[in-house]
Amino acid sequence: MFNGPVKLAVDSGASTLVIKPNSSGSIRISSWLKPVDPRDRPFSLGPGCHPRAATSLVEPEAPVPPPPTRYQPPPDSDGKYFPRSSGFRAWFQVRRALVLGLSFMATALLFAGQGAQKVGMGKSLYDQSAAARALYAEANHVLGWDLTKISFEGPEAELTQTKVCQPALFVHGLALHAILQEQGRLDDVSITLGLSLGEITALTAAGVFDFATGLRVVAERGRLMQQACEQTVGGMAAVIGEERAKVAELCHDFDIEAANFNAPGQIIVSGDKAKVESAVAAAKDRGMKKVIPLNVAGAYHSRLMEPARAAFSTFLDTVPFHAPRLTVFTNTTGQTVSEPAAIKAALVRQVVASVRWEDCMRAAAAAGATSFLELGPGGVLAGLARRTDKTWTVKSFSEFSDLAA
């Protein structure tokens, strides 16, 4: 461990930061020593790191005031700069030992998707935290119906409806986020991602939306997706223990789609219910040992959701998007997304596209995440993480007792 602050020259070498250790052993930006070069972005030294990011630590130096608000590029500029805002988009984190044997860590937040909900979720948060109570009260006001009562008391059949469970999981995740923030436990967070609807929760945590706007977005998404389910006859099935190529061949032959790549050997297929049933029956003849029909309301993340996608796109035209303060990974590609227009396009496409959750998790780890905090009920995402890479550290938070651990 080191006693900061320490001066660190980053990326292009044109900017310098003062960094200080947190109690956890990770680092945070303390102040800038020069005007900020837009080429200098928060980065990690994980696999695939660009060699220009191999920086050097020098002698401790006293903090100085924040950088100027404007930056003038150097004379040798090629003009191919990242926007200035990208340099502030995430907390500065470094993943691996660098020089002098120092270790740095980044933490990623994980937000749950549909299916993780259960009656009673969030009740202890509401009872024990004023911040959580405020969010649930605001949610009831924004939605115009009693989300709190359905979340805490059910009935399960009502909570399971797409138009209900999506906003319920969104509020539950952000209530956990608010409490952890109050406890000062999110200082090391630089990355956030969520499974399906959880991507909207992650974007809200990253500052793309305020709470009320994010809630309206996820509620409209849930309403439109439930409407699409009611207009079609869809089904889904889980394919366990098979490679992507073999599942892709099955999907092609039966005119269905891969809806989720959750973890190695766990892929969900989706489509017309009769076609999914035929694919399940044929899978055994193809040597697929475990293909399980799922009890779902419709064919999520397939072309049967096209009516929802089109209407959701129109709705999002009225919604303001902001650049995220954290690094965010999108389900549609498994890669980062940062420009507001690209974030909107990804949310629209996600309604009918495959959720590449395994890809998101691997990319987050490669970007520097050495630990993950799951904010949602059931520990589903922790289970998928263990299935993907047993070396990853994942801590799950669902109720208030988890926050005291």
Helix axes 340-350, 198-205, angle to 10 degrees: 160
> Distance between CA 294 and CA 236 in Å, rounded?
6
Beta strands in 33-112 (DSSP E): 106-111
In b/e form, how buried is each residue of 125-148, taking b as 16+ CB within 10 angstroms? bbeebeebeebbeebeebbeeebb
Strand order in the sheet with 189-194: 327-328, 189-194, 106-111, 369-375, 393-397
**CA neighbor of 156 nearest in space, from 113, 124, 120, 198:** 120
> Distance between CA 325 and CA 171 in Å, rounded?
20
Give the active site residues.
Answer: 196, 301
Strand order in the sheet with 27-32: 6-10, 15-21, 27-32
Q: Taking a C-beta distance cutoff of 8 angstroms, is the pair 213, 142 a contact?
A: no
> Distance between CA 298 and CA 230 in Å, rounded?
8
Residue by residue, DSSP assigns 128-156 as: H-HHHHHHHHHHHHHHTS-HHHHHHH--H
Q: Taking a C-beta distance cutoff of 8 angstroms, is the pair 136, 122 a contact?
A: yes
